[in-house]
Amino acid sequence: MTIIRLGYVAMSMELQNSSPSQTMTYARFSQIEDRAAALRKLERIANSNLKNTLRLLMHNAANDIQFYRMTSRLIPLANHKELLDWKYMLPLKEALQAIGSFAKKHQMRLDFHPDHFVLINSTKDEILKNSIQTLNLHYKILRGMEIDPVHRCIMHVGGNYKETDVALERFIHNWMYVPHHIQQMMMLENDDSSFTMDDTLYLCEKLGIPLVFDYHHHLAHHQNIHWEENWDRVVQSWEYSPLPLKMHISSPKSEKEYRHHADFVDPEMFFRFLQGIKGSVGQVDCMIEAKRKDGALFQLMEDIKKRNDIEIINGASFYLK
């Protein structure tokens, strides 16, 4: 039997006053005349974000959720060009270690998905440089949490620039400029408009990167609708990872807005996918990318409990029979 473990992204719709993404603009930072005081304020915001992340993990543990994507906005302005002298890791050390310790105690898988401006295949050197800098921030945060950074950060291939083959080869060329410790951290995801499952597998196999298969994206954008033909290749891309295979699940908001995520996950759509992978791998961690976050996870589990082709493990995991 295959174990399916569900997770959700960043924010809770159930836990009040728990935002891990509080921020400060550089304009506001600049208005504070005492720079040291301004930095202390940034540190207070970052510490609040980290404490709320720990609260979210406690909420997750209480509900058997062992898979969670952290926000990339934990430390506001950490990579701003005017703040590169800010030594933020030391004042955040205790809060970071508390998150890592709790995650290890409860056997939680934590990871990141940096924003869309991280573009390894950019045609501009400055954007590539900034992308590597942003990825390195994620690496530092994971190390601060004392979490092994390997395969903890997912990204899209990048810009298509209306020439897919050239854009793919540019990714391979630029990948050589990415430091090895960051290369080891990365996973790639097929997207809904530029790079299909086939395109992304090409890079994953060539560069030794795990593929996070997004089923909704595949239905929206594909070369071959029959994703099952490539599923073994997806499984093989995870062969040397210390973590179980990961995928994304969401449902279209509507036929007209097919690429947009719905509030909840359609269980029938989800199980059409699951029936195709049953028995092919021991465990799949499914990240729910629905607007209702953990609320969507709880609703999906309620829907799943009504089925006779599964066996419930706990509040967020089940076996496929």
% pLDDT > 70, the chain? 100
Give residue 205's domain range: 19-242
Question: How far is 269 from 260, CA to CA, in rounded Å?
Answer: 15
Please, what sign has the CA dihedral across residues 24, 27, 28, 34?
Answer: positive
What is the average per-residue pLDDT within 88-108? Answer: 98
Residues of the chain with pLDDT > 90, as a percent, come to 98
> How confident is the prediction for the chain on average, in pLDDT?
97
Model confidence over 34-48: pLDDT tens digits?
999 999 999 999 999
CA distance 274 to 225: 16
Contact of 32 with 38, CB cutoff 8 Å? yes
Q: What is the 3-state secondary structure (H, E, C) of the chain?
A: CEEEEEEEECCCCCCCCCCCCCCCCHHHHHHCCCHHHHHHHHHHHHHHHHHHHHHHHHHHHHCCCCEEECCCCCCCCCCCCCCCCCCCHHHHHHHHHHHHHHHHHCCCEEEECCCCCCCCCCCCHHHHHHHHHHHHHHHHHHHHCCCCCCCCEEEECCCCCCCHHHHHHHHHHHHCCCCHHHHCCEEEECCCCCCCHHHHHHHHHHHCCCEEEEHHHHHHCCCCCCHHHHHHHHHHHCCCCCCCEEEEECCECCCCCCCCECCCCCHHHHHHHHHHHCCCCCEEEEEECCCCHHHHHHHHHHHHCCCCCEEEEECCEEEEC
- Whether 271 is covered by a domain: the verdict is no
Q: Extract long-range pairs of 217-221: CB within 8 Å, 24+ residues apart.
A: 217/189, 217/190, 217/191, 217/192, 217/248, 218/190, 219/252, 219/258, 220/192, 220/193, 220/252, 220/258, 220/259, 221/190, 221/191, 221/192, 221/193, 221/194, 221/196
Give the CA distances from residue 276 to residues 137, 225, 267, 281, 285, in Å, rounded to whole numbers and listed in that order: 37, 13, 14, 11, 15
Residue 252 lies in a domain: no
Q: Which two tokens stand for residue 150?
A: 């390997």
Residue 220 lies in a domain: yes
Total structural domains within the chain:
1
Predicted structure pTM score: 0.96
Residue 301 lies in a domain: no
Q: How confident is the model at residue 251 (pLDDT cuts 50, 70, 90)?
A: very high
Confidence band of 240 (pLDDT split at 50, 70, 90): very high
312 falls within a domain: no
Confidence of residue 116 (pLDDT cuts 50, 70, 90): confident
189: its two tokens: 């995801």
Q: How many alpha carbons lie under 13 Å from residue 154 in its C-beta half-sphere?
A: 24
Residue 83 sits in a domain of what CATH number?
3.20.20.150
> Which residue has 């050197």 as its token pair?
125
> pLDDT by residue (tens digit) across 35-90?
999 999 999 999 999 999 999 999 999 999 999 999 999 999 999 999 999 999 99
264-291 confidence digits (pLDDT tens): 999 999 999 999 999 999 999 999 999 9
Residue 278 placed within a domain: no
Whether residue 274 lies inside any domain: the answer is no
Domain membership flag for residue 138: yes
